Amino acid sequence: MGADRRANGRKHYISELTVDIPGSKRRAEIEPPPSRWRTLEFKFYTLAFIVVVPLLVWSPINLSSPHNPNYPYYSYRLSLGWWFLPEVDDSDPQYRTFRSGFPSLLALAAAFLLPSHLIRKAGFTSASARANFIVIFALIMLVALHGVSAFKVLAILGANFYAARARKPAAIERAWPLVVIVGNMLILFANEKFDGYHFGALHSGLKSLDDLKGAYPRWHITFNITMLRIVSFALDYHWRTQPQSTPPTDQRGRAAQAHPEAEYNPVNYLAYTLYPPLYIAGPIMSFNDFVWQLQRPLDISTSDRLKYLLRFAFCMITMETIIHTMYVVAIKDARAWVGMTPAQLSMIGFWNLVIVWLKLLIPWRYFRLWALFDGVDAPENMVRCVANNYSVLGFWRSWHRSYNLWIVRYIYIPAGGAKRVVLSTFLVFTFVALWHDLSFRLLAWGWLVTLFIIPEITARALVPEKKYGDRWWYRHVAAMGGVVNILLLMGANLVGFVLGLDGMQHLIHQLVTTPQGWAFMAFATSCLFIGVQIMFEYRNDEARRGIDRRC
């Protein structure tokens, strides 16, 4: 696990594998200890990694073999493979949609980037020229994607723009943040209930309009992302102050610093809410940040773009390797786990979480990469690997980072923030669950995460690192707390995104009522303890480089 080495006269660190995010290069509050990578303790941890990690990979591959007794129960969910392997588990609908539509997305990106760069080469580099081009292209794209339903999207956007800019009675003005969020949540509920609305429901003579669907007719499925931009515009306008003379230098400053009122105009609003690279899935930017970047484009080097392209390609190759060799999604969906040991069941759950992480990471990185090639730096969504999290708070900050930044600015702080942390967190995760999907499963996930945050907050208050961090026992006690956090995080996410409540009950029953389950839990918690120690040192590695990613 050699943490650093010398090459070309420069010291390299293992923590450089984590993607850079703006604002992370600052001194840690507590001076990090000397490197432990070469100590006897961490050499033992390295040996444990060498032994255990291959077992984590081998187990799901073995369960995916055609010779496995459960293979006939899930094989109907497999598809013809692309590579030298004959079959692929392409049964996850979200990733299947992205995977099958990837060539079209590449063509769409090329169709946008080519004229965008040509227009700037021709000298049309002003913010207004860029915004006008974005709006024209976005309207064409909207009609191509949604057909006649594009007018439904524009109607909702127009109503929200008018409401945001209109003069309001004092009582409504004071409650406007709540009105905007609740009102747009009700629009999401209505979109879902009426299946995106049908012209035929208004009058039988309009039914033929419903056949003009476009390439992606279910516009209301991805409208959740647009809803966040609508709220951002409305509240950035509502909270606007006198613009400062000095332009902001980082993402946080760009999000907080207002523009002159004239910049909150229909063209900028449409360019922001319909910006093609980020329209379908994000990442999410604030309106203020987007307009700042139109006015003062950031200096994004070719090297940075190419490095990010390589990251994206590596992630996609990793996903393809997994779904061609581990059929864990098909096994989970078919509930083909008869006769599995608790260890095997846990591996099915773990690798399903890895696939959930990758199926979200890959589209987000693709759309962010597209924006980077257009000169727009959207927030990075996935900072850490899913297997590099031991803190519930840190996991939330790094899992869907741009959404977390949005939540903090528009819900958490207005709800009281750290002054009312439990209430604010409860409101945040209730909103997050309902925003994702109107289902009890995700509502249960949101409340579980809220519940699981409380012990971590309590432990940090009772045993703060600033006071006890230099004691020999602190790191080991913190690692035990990290193990508990990981088990809670895996439980909440298995309920919300993988197994559901009934599947999770079956797994817990196997773990706590069988001797095999007890033995596996003892082994797994020992491995997790070692893993958390590695995660601590990984972050110390970052701190020694002056980096604090807060996750």
Burial of 314 per CB tally in 10 Å (0-12, 13-18, 19+): exposed
CA–CA dist 300, 373 (Å, integer): 9
Distance from C-alpha of 533 to C-alpha of 300, rounded to nearest angstrom: 35
The region, left, alpha or beta by phi > 0 then psi within -120 to 50, assigned to residue 375 is left
Count of CB atoms situated within 10 Å of the CB of 214: 17
Q: What are the phi and psi torsion angles at 87 (to 5°)?
A: -130, 155
Spatial separation of the C-alpha atoms in residues 312 and 364, rounded to whole Å:
9
Instruction: Pick the catalytic residue from 259, 436, 506, 509.
Output: 436
Strand partners, 13: 4
* Catalytic residue flag (residue 436): yes
Residue 128: exposed, middle, or buried by beta-carbon count in 10 A (0-12, 13-18, 19+)? middle
Looking up tokens 């950035």, which residue turns up? 236
Q: How far apart are CA 247 and CA 268, in angstroms?
A: 19
329/327 Cα distance (integer angstroms):
6
Measured CA to CA, the distance from residue 328 to residue 335 in angstroms comes to 10
Q: Are 511 and 355 in contact (CB under 8 A)?
A: no
Residue appearing with tokens 């006769």 = 339
Backbone φ and ψ of 5, nearest 5°: -150, 170
CA distance 158 to 182: 18
DSSP output for 363-392: HHHHHHHHHHHTT--PPPS--S-TTS---H
- Taking the C-alpha atoms of residue 297 and residue 130, their distance in angstroms, rounded to an integer, is 11
Task: Mark 218-244 as b/e (b = at least 16 C-beta within 10 Å).
Answer: ebbebbbbbbbbbbbbbbbbeebeeee
Q: Show contacts of 537-540: CB within 8 Å, 24+ apart.
A: 537/3, 537/35, 537/36, 537/37, 537/42, 538/14, 538/15, 538/388, 539/15, 540/32, 540/33, 540/35, 540/36
Query: What's the token pair of residue 275?
Result: 């910006």
Active-site residue set: 436
